[in-house]
Amino acid sequence: MQPMPHQLMGYDRTITMFSPDGRLLQVEYAKKTVKQGSAAIAMVCKDGIVFVTDKRILDPLIVTKDVEKIWQIDKHVGVTASGIISDARVLIERSQVTAQQHTVTYDAPIDVLTITKDICDLKQLTTQSGGLRPFGVSLLVGGIDEDGSKLYLTDPTGIYFPYKAVAIGESDTEIMEILHKKYKPTISINDALKLALDALKQVLGSNFNIERIDAAYINDTSKTFKRMKKEELEKM
């Protein structure tokens, strides 16, 4: 007799139920949602950190310049996301408040790892609470604190990993192959932006358009988040 698929047996109907082989299927579905989101790339550079993402603007009537896929958490911290962006917005707004509260309480800027852990704590909570669903989004949190440039990937399970360069979302496997071949820790912000744009050009092909690109960076001199304008990207 053939074993029944886990879906037919109901193991994917609640977040708190493990399948017989130790899987939380709702969490795995959330990770698949991230794969369906538009591509996002972040890199640690010798002089800062870079974020480049595809806004995936398909309707010509949308005001593209007002669509954001990269957000500022604090002066020295930024984040980009792939998956359900409304889920990302909730996490980002929470992080912005956390960063401001830290500054007021301790009279010092929050470090990147603390923000990342706070995001992951909430993500993990939703994987073990009845009546909730996992956040269907992965975030790339990057910034510059006392220890230098930091970049973390958070996924729907509530786990986080430090990276030098990483891509999430659509075509992340292909983009990661490019990063493995061309990324170097000595890369500059300018060259990292070019590398990310070239990677998106390769995976998007004829669909690539500078209008659908959002990019930002934080350099280690000013430690200040700066969003790039369309005109600056066109010169890359």
Domains of the chain and any CATH numbers = 25-234 (3.60.20.10)
Q: Residue 108: name the closest of 155, 84, 74 by CA.
A: 74
Average predicted confidence (pLDDT) for the chain? 91
Q: What is the pTM of this model?
A: 0.92
Judged by average pLDDT, the poorest of 69-73, 96-100, 226-230 is 226-230
Q: Mean pLDDT across the stretch 222-228?
A: 95
Predicted pLDDT of residue 134? 93
Is 34 within 8 Å of 82 (Cβ atoms)?
A: yes
pLDDT 10s digits, 107-150: 999 999 999 999 999 999 999 887 888 999 999 999 999 889 99
Helix pair 112-125, 85-106: axis angle to 10 deg: 130
Which residue type sits at 181?
K
Rg (Cα) of the chain, in Å, rounded? 19
pLDDT digits (tens, 9 = 90+) for 17-71: 888 888 888 888 999 999 999 999 999 999 999 999 999 887 888 888 788 999 9
Which tokens sit at 107?
């009279």
Per-residue pLDDT of 176-199, as tens digits, reads 999 999 999 999 999 999 999 999
pLDDT band at 9 (very low <50, low <70, confident <90, very high): low
Give the model's confidence band at 74: pLDDT under 50 very low, under 70 low, under 90 confident, else very high: very high
pLDDT at 58: 78
Per-residue DSSP letter, 212: G
In sequence order, the 6+-apart residues with CB closer than 8 A to the CB of 72 are 78, 216, 225, 227
C-alpha to C-alpha distance for 184 and 164, rounded to whole angstroms: 9
Q: Do residues 72 and 172 touch, judged by C-beta distance below 8 A?
A: no
Q: Helix (H, G, I), strand (E, B), or coil: what is residue 82?
A: strand
pLDDT for position 3: 56
The pair phi, psi for residue 110, each rounded to 5°, is -70, 150
pLDDT at 1 over 90: no
